[in-house]
Structure 1
Amino acid sequence: MFIMKICLLQQLYKDVLAGVPLAKESHHYTSLLNLCVEQSLEGDESCNRMHLPSTNGGIRIHQDTDMSDAVVPTTDDTSNSFANVSSSFCPREVMLLQLTLIKMMVAKAESQEIEVNTRQKYCEIFVLLNESKIDSKLICLLDSSDQLLSHMASESLASLVYFQLKEENMVNVTWLTFSLKTLSGFPVNTQIAECLWTLTAIIKDILKDEVLSGAGILKKLLAPLDAVLEGFYDSILFHHFDSHHYTSPYSKAANNLISFIDLLEALLASRTELELLLRCQRVLFLKVSYVLNLISSSVHYLIKKKLIMLLKKCVLSESREDAVSRSLFLENPSLYEDMLALSTAVLQTVNLTWLNQVPLGEKANYFGGSEAVPGDDNQGGYDQTVLRALSLVVLKALEFKFQNSATEAEIKGDFHSFMSQLLMFWRSHVNSSAQSHPFVHHCEWLSLIFIEQDDDMWEAAKALLLIYLKLDRLRHDAAANLSQKEEETWNFLIHASGCNPHCIFLSFLEKIAFDSTVLLDFLISSETCFLEYLATP
């Protein structure tokens, strides 16, 4: 029975992969795909223990007419196709194959390249699997100590929940109950990371669907989870992170935190791409101080880096080239409020003491290890990616806050203070690295820090240009005629702050050796905001 099931599953895998029609009744394939998990349920949604069946007793399956009448492959067929593979199979590998098939079949059922009858057959199989409580079995597998099984169960569960949401316009009750109980039960509950993986995967599937009207289906998914997700945000981030559990990225506590950061990133993407606004999509902006405190704590560097890159995506969310998203940002008061709240919190927290608490990594990561190739003198001793991201977060926060300030006095002092700290922060890392660059004045620092990342460089340059124009406009509004001394003071302040746009652009031209072909590449490329930067009034 065990060998026969393996052979049938392998044949099903080939048929699904090729997209050919399935010849047998749906019940037959349901029996093949039904997971043999011994489960003890508490209520209907959680699993206290999970056992894989042993090879000695074979894999117990739900017997039906299709399975009992199944044609066992001939000896020749078995020897030609499966003999070398089947003998090495164990129950774990059979289960992995079942999980792979479930995910594959969901993808095929959504593909327009597959015949309608075949897609309908897949849908019938999924209905029968749901009737056999496949969702409860997958939830039990999430708690498996076998990480590969747990991961595959998460992906298969996400595929089935998404498919049911799309086809039946309803959220899987078993999964929803499990998610609510798991998230609200933190930190006692032990399945946090697995629950977050599944939710993140479902959101990503919705965002990838080009046909689906994503906003409505995403609201149906997230609305029941909205309050509990905000509560979970408070619980997991408002925490003392000096514990040794967070100093390694492989600990369960760190894994929970990393999984939650991935979910926040998916929620940010859903907010940027869809006209939908729930509290769980706003919480990162409204309570960003929790994230800033976590970045300066003793958690592992990987967690800090992921959070800094997430903040970078937040401040760039309104800078996307998509005109629809930009108009949505300008027209929606809550988006404006959230960016203002984030910018204010960043500027209140960021000072030289806080910046110096953020380590930038002593060594860069290389393919195959963390050691540089002998004789390679081009790498610095700091993580340039994080340095640029952190700098861009501060600059974009300054831009947004100052664009919404009414008077020159509200801007000038704070701007000079923040830029002085940022310049000191840049200098401390670049001067301590293996490659130390001489500079003439502060306006060179922008191109020096960002020259290796074109898109970030022009975002940073545009932020400084907008701040400069705002200051200049307010200065001329305050006094029609400025004295020579006032002009000299203004010029000194702008140069000292490193934001004179003429110097910044000339410094960039110098870095590219005044190569016109490089400028042409920037002009025709859609990967940076260079054209928008040049067109800034």
Structure 2
Amino acid sequence: MEEPAKKKQRIVNEDDDENEDELITEMERFQKCLLTQCLCGIPESSLRKPFAGTNPTRSTNNTVAVNDRRNGSVLSEWEPDRTLEFISCLQLLFDLAIKQNTRGLMCSRVADVCDALTRNEHGIIDQLLDLSCTSNKFVSFTASRALASFFIITKENTEESWLERLTQSLVNTNSPSQMLFTLDVVKRVVEHKDCEIHPLEDADNSMLPTNCNTLVVSDPESLDSTAVKAMCVKALESKWTLLVAKFDAILGSYTPQHESAVITFLDLWESIISVKANLSVIDTKLFYSQLDNLVLLLNTNVPGIIWRHLLGLFNEVLCYGSTLALQDVLPDEPCSLAHLIVRAVKDWRLLDGLPYRHGSGRFGGGSGEGDRPLLQKLVLLVLKSVAVTVKETRSDTSDSSLGSEAEDLDADMAVIERSIREVLRQLDQCVKCLMPFHPEMPLSQWVVQMFHDQDDFLIEGMVCSLDVAVGLFYRGPPQNELAHMLSPSLTFVQFVRAVSHDPDVLLDLLVSNETCFLLYLLRFLKYVRRNWPEFVSCCGRELDDTMTVLIRLRLAIDRLVSKALFPYNINPVLRLLEKCESFYEGNIDN
């Protein structure tokens, strides 16, 4: 006969198993309804059962407490498979809410459940935060994704205490996985794009069931995640100095176990300062500092993948084509970074440390074609640094018509020119060691071939080269190799060759907002207007072909303008094209 105590324990265990089975059944039902994009089919009494089941029972009774731990009332104590299923369900809920909110029509039950979770009625958010310490990388990854989606749907109602706890853990922990958890959450929030419904998404898949009790979302602010992005950045701000110091130390004695955390940290840094994040200058000013030490870390001890992300960060700080090229007075932070990179190339042989892995090059043995994207990032960074340095020097003495100031400018530019010439000489030598370019091909031409597969890099590189030439040649082309090395006309001729003399490519670049081609073309045509004989000389036998491209481009723009189809005022470019055409006609007559 069974002892009374054992019988009671068996009954308790059976009851626990039944409760657990019931919770799993409720979760599966909840998940199936989410896939139909509507929760109206779940009774109100059952709607929150899957989440209420995670509440830990606060009891002083030892038996109940033991049973609670065995049943896994706390997410961190559940079996991994069950935890993953539960968090994936949360992720599905939050992502559905974000998508429906973007479309302006939500299932009211979806909205209700999200509201309850926003108020943390079931303590789930605190438990998701607890999972930052889990040793299971799959649970950690899934929880960080769900937490980021939760913050995005919660927006300005996100509690500061959650973000404080999250960011403080970055300072307190030395665990790469825990750092990765927090960094990934913040990065996903900062990089979130509002209204990101894909235009090709099947409309039928976005339809709510006909019996769904819908809620119309008419508040335009409901689509704006700027507030929670700013909250995340603010939570990082007070800890940023300590955080950068920590990652400086990690990179200084780099080990592969930190790779994911380091990459995510650098990507987050880049995302915070990116113009695409749509954050204010005031919110992000601090994040432009403390970059100098990272430049010194670009050496042979750091693997290529870390180089790639460091260069991505530096290139984002020196956002030349989209921002710096348009400013009259440049901020101190990008100028300081540009100066340091110019010095690192000129005096510290920065280019020699590039882990390119080219079989015939001087940067390592082995076979293969090497890491071309890495080289592209480095070349663009050097061009940006040179352009910023020249622009800053020119803007310091903007009125060169006054005698003493003109003399100061000449003296400054003479020093800058010597430094720039040496930096570009080293860059040219480095590229020709690694790429199959003709030894006599100048930078003004190979810059097009270097970036032929990256439109944004190509156009920004061309803008940088043009601005450096204009900045240095204000008294006329110098009597040295710089005139040939930086010839804007040679660059343009090479560019129209690369696009097979097709004016439609130029028109597409003008209409698109993905590159700074408008800025480039406007500045290049002004250069041609001032230096027509030099343009003719550089074009040589290709003058007719090159001008045919520009004339056909003008005609195509004219047609769009006459139908009011051009997306912005293109008249300044049209006038310059007409001026070049008149020069050309006069050239033919002569």
After TM superposition, the score normalised by the length of structure 2 is 0.66
Pick aligned residue for 1:195 from 182, 188, 210: 182
Who is 1:5 aligned against? 23
Distance across 2 between alignment mates of 1:52 and 1:222 = 41
Q: Which whole-Å CA distance do the structure 1 matches of 2:508 and 2:41 have between them?
A: 55
Residue identity in the other structure for 2:309: K
The Cα of 1:307 is off from its aligned counterpart by 1.2
- Equivalent residue letter for 1:356: D
Name which of structure 1's ranges 207-216 and 291-300 shifts more when overlaid on structure 2: 207-216
State yes or no: 1:338 paired with 2:327. Answer: no
Q: Return the match for 1:94 from 82, 100, 104.
A: 82
Describe the shift of the 1:347–1:282 C-alpha distance in structure 2 as closer, same or farther (beyond 3 A). Answer: farther
Q: Counterpart in 2 of 1:126?
A: 117
* Secondary structure at the counterpart of residue 258 of structure 1: helix
- 2:482 is matched with 494
Rounded to whole Å, the distance in 2 between the matches of 1:404 and 1:419 is: 17
1:381 to 345, 364, 369: 369
Cα distance in 1, alignment partners of residues 288 and 343 from structure 2: 14
Q: Which residue number corresponds to residue 414 of structure 1?
A: 416
Letter in 2 for 1:14: K
* 1:158–1:443 Cα change, 3 Å: closer
Is the Cα contact below 8 Å between 1:162 and 1:202 reproduced in 2?
A: yes
Q: CA deviation at 1:131?
A: 2.7
1:32 matched residue in structure 2 = 50
Q: What amino acid maps onto 2:462 in structure 1?
A: A
Instruction: Tell me if structure 1 keeps the 8 A contact 2:155–2:228.
Output: yes
Alignment deviations for residues 212-259 of structure 1 (CA, whole Å, 9 cap, x no partner): 45554433343243121232112322x26453x52x3xx1x2222112
**Percent pairwise identity:** 18
CA deviation vs aligned residue, 1:463-521 (integer Å, no higher than 9, x gap): 12112222233x27xxxxxxxxxx7xx2434335x101122222334445545555455
**Is the 8 Å Cα contact of residues 186 and 232 (structure 1) preserved in structure 2?**
no
For structure 2, list consecutive stretches of 5 or more residues without a partner in the other structure.
1-17, 59-65, 197-219, 360-365, 398-408, 527-590
Q: CA 1:270–1:519 in 2, change beyond 3 Å: closer, same or farther?
A: closer
Q: Out of 203-212 and 106-115, give the one that drifted further.
A: 203-212
Summarize the alignment of residues 492-531 of structure 1 with structure 2, pairs less than 5 Å apart. Answer: 492-495=480-483, 498-512=485-499, 514-516=501-503, 518-531=505-518
Task: Report matched runs for 1:176-195 at 5 Å.
Answer: 176-187=163-174, 191-195=178-182
Amino acid at match of 2:337: L
Cα separation, 2, equivalents of 1:441 and 1:397: 19
Q: 1:113-159 CA distances to partner (integer Å, 9 max, x unpaired)?
A: 5445224322344157x133212211222222221111111111222
Deviations 1:180-228 (A, max 9, x none): 4312325479721211111212223376688445554433343243121
Question: Which residue of the partner structure matches residue 367 of structure 1?
Answer: none
How far the C-alpha of 1:340 sits from its partner, in A, is 2.1
Q: Distance in 2 between matches of 1:5 and 1:389?
A: 52
The 8 Å contact of residues 289 and 346 in structure 1, kept in 2 or not, is answered as no
- Give CA-to-partner distance per residue, 1:72-102, whole Å, 9 cap, x none: xxxxxxxxxxxxxxxxxx9433321211221
Whether contact under 8 Å (1:141, 1:149) holds in the other structure is: yes
Aligned equivalent of 1:227: 238
Partners of 1:290 and 1:449 in 2: CA distance? 29
Q: How does 1:40-439 map to 2 (within 5 A)?
A: 91-110=79-98, 111-112=100-101, 113=103, 114-115=105-106, 117-127=108-118, 130-166=120-156, 168=157, 170-173=158-161, 175-187=162-174, 191-205=178-192, 211=221, 212-237=223-248, 239=249, 241=251, 243=253, 245-246=254-255, 248=256, 251=257, 253-269=258-274, 273-278=278-283, 281-296=284-299, 298-316=301-319, 319-320=321-322, 330=327, 336-351=331-346, 353-362=349-358, 381-405=369-393, 406=397, 407-432=409-434, 435-437=436-438, 439=440
Q: 1:35 to 1:511 in 2, by over 3 A?
A: same
1:183–1:192: 8 Å Cα contact kept in structure 2? yes
Would the aligned equivalents of 1:143 and 1:191 in 2 still touch at CA under 8 Å?
yes
1:525–1:183 Cα change, 3 Å? closer
**Mapped contact 2:55–2:74 kept (Cα < 8 A):** no
CA distance, structure 1, for counterparts of residue 318 and residue 165 of structure 2: 33
Q: Which digits, 9 at most, give the CA deviation of each residue in 1:516-536, with x for residues without a partner?
A: 555455455544333321211
SS of structure 1 residue aligned to 2:440: coil
Does the residue aligned with 1:469 lie in a helix, a strand or coil? Answer: helix
Distance 1:446 1:413, change over 3 A: farther
Q: 1:464 to 1:516 in 2, by over 3 A?
A: same
Q: Deviations over 1:151-178 (max 9, x none)?
A: 1111112222333343x3x4242x2342
**Structure 1: 5+ residue runs without aligned partners?**
41-50, 63-89, 364-370, 373-379, 477-486
Gap change, CA 1:276 and 1:507, over 3 Å in 2:
closer
Distance in 2 (alpha carbons) for counterparts of 1:526 and 1:270: 13
In structure 2, relative to structure 1, the CA distance for the partners of 1:309 and 1:223 (3 Å cut) is closer
Cα distance between partner residues in 1 of 2:299 and 2:437: 26
Aligned partners of 1:171 and 1:220 also within 8 Å = no
Structure 1 letter corresponding to 2:419: S
**Contact 2:37/2:107 (CA < 8 Å) preserved in 1?**
no
Work out the CA distance in 1 between the residues paired with 2:479 and 2:492: 16
Whole-Å separation in 2 of the counterparts to 1:359 and 1:22: 57
Secondary structure, counterpart of 2:145 in structure 1: helix
Matched letter for residue 230 of structure 2: K
Q: Which has the larger radius of gyration?
A: 2
- Whether the 8 Å CA contact 1:99–1:156 is kept in 2: the answer is yes
Work out whether residues 36 and 53 of structure 1, in 8 Å CA contact, stay in contact via their aligned partners in 2. no
Gap change, CA 1:291 and 1:195, over 3 Å in 2: same
